[in-house]
Amino acid sequence: MTKTIYLETPQNFSFRETVNSHGWSVLLPFELDKENLRLSYVFENESSAEISEEDGKLKIEIVGENENLLRDVRHILRFDEDLSKFYKILKSEKRLKWIAAQSAGRLLRSPTVFEDLVKTICTTNCSWSLTKIMVKNLVEKLGNGGRAFPTPEQMASVPEEFYRTQIRAGYRSGYFAELAEKVASGKLNPEAWLTSNLPTNELKKEMKKVKGFGDYAAENLLKLVGRYDGLALDSYLRSEFYKKHNAGTLCDDKQIRAFYEKFGAWQGLAIWCDMSGNF
DNA sequence: GCGTCCAGGTCTACC
DNA sequence: GGTAGACCTGGACGC
């Protein structure tokens, strides 16, 4: 079954900026047609959505049955994210005015926190090309039809060795096996992090209980659940900071933190937009 | 072709 | 609490 739906977008929403907000749009089961700005995603039951813009609305071309599909599309594109306070803070920063002007700042995310959790582990201590390989293997060798991202149950159904030999996850293999077992058995519910009442530092501690999840990974996932207190410093952000704000020379993380401290609860989003924008 | 280094870090042992 | 060393893999680079 194929059908097309048109969605009104919220105020200050940019499909282009959201799709290009970070690398998630090229990690399966997302696929991005950059030339035509069309983003597609294959859901757990192999239904899919191809999203583009038409006449100021979002055009959603749906293949298959999925009663939660539109809810998930809104979630992926962060329709509910209110960035007005963030934009207000940026008014005093001439260098960052482009963010509000272009309605940037919405970070693309997966339909589930579990998927973002696994993908974040795939970004640690490796090149981006290896991240793409690991995610591709997860989808093609464990997901439904070799097209969808695997469920916790599907990931829990294979031994650690599978991650080592088939997914090419190396030392992360044990992390995946343990995480999948905990989520599939109900010992851990990452989806609850979306609505957690815990202060951010407490929620970060919860996230760091996941093996393989350190400061960078936890702060990155916090951004994807809507909390931007942490910078999620990684080698990419550091190198960009050195180039843009420190004349190309290295400095310690304290200096980077001091630079963005003024953005308070929004500092993680401020550094990401600052470093990823071509301004 | 081969060795080395590093990339969108984290864990453990040790102090 | 801070730090050194180990850890998988793929790709770039130098020789």
Nearest protein residue, CA measured to C1' of C10: A130
pLDDT at A252: 87
Q: Which of A240, A210, A237, A207 is nearest to A224 (CA)?
A: A207
Residue A250 pLDDT > 90, yes or no? no
pLDDT at A269: 97
Residues (171-200, chain A) with CB within 7 Å of strand C atoms: 171-172
Region A34-55 average pLDDT: 97
Angstrom CA distances, A247 to A45, A169, A243, A250, A271, stand at 50, 36, 6, 9, 17
What count of other Cβ atoms lies within 10 Å of the Cβ of residue A227?
A: 20
Region A247-263 average pLDDT: 91
Region A159-163 average pLDDT: 97
Q: Which of A222, A253, A277 is nearest to A17 (CA)?
A: A277
Q: In order of start, what are the domains of chain A with their CATH numbers?
A: 2-82 (3.30.310.20), 113-224 (1.10.340.30), 235-276 (no CATH)
Sheet containing A38-42: order of strands? A2-7, A57-63, A48-54, A38-42, A30-33
- Measured to protein CB atoms, the chain C nucleotides within 7 Å are 7-11
pLDDT band for position A220 (cuts 50, 70, 90) = very high
Burial of A5 (0-12, 13-18, 19+ CB in 10 A): middle
pLDDT band for position A137 (cuts 50, 70, 90) = very high
Smallest CA–C1' separation from A121, nucleotide: B9
Percent of chain A clearing pLDDT 90 (strictly above): 94
pLDDT at A278: 60
pLDDT at A213: 96
Whether any strand C atom is under 7 angstroms from the Cβ of A170: the reply reads yes
Kindly list the protein residues whose beta carbon lies within 7 Å of any strand B atom: A 22-23, 123-128, 130, 171, 208, 210-218, 220, 234-236, 239
Residue A118 pLDDT > 80, yes or no? yes
Percent of chain A clearing pLDDT 70 (strictly above): 99
Residue A279 pLDDT > 80, yes or no? no
pLDDT at A1: 82
Report the distance separating Cα A149 and Cα A106, nearest Å. 22
Rounded distance in angstroms from the CA atom of residue A279 to the C1' atom of nucleotide B11? 37
3-class SS at A59?
Answer: strand
pLDDT in tens, A166-207: 999 999 999 999 999 999 999 999 999 999 999 999 999 999
pLDDT at A74: 98
Our measurement of the distance from residue A182's CA atom to the centroid of its chain's CA atoms, rounded to an integer in Å, reads 21
Residue A59 pLDDT > 90, yes or no? yes
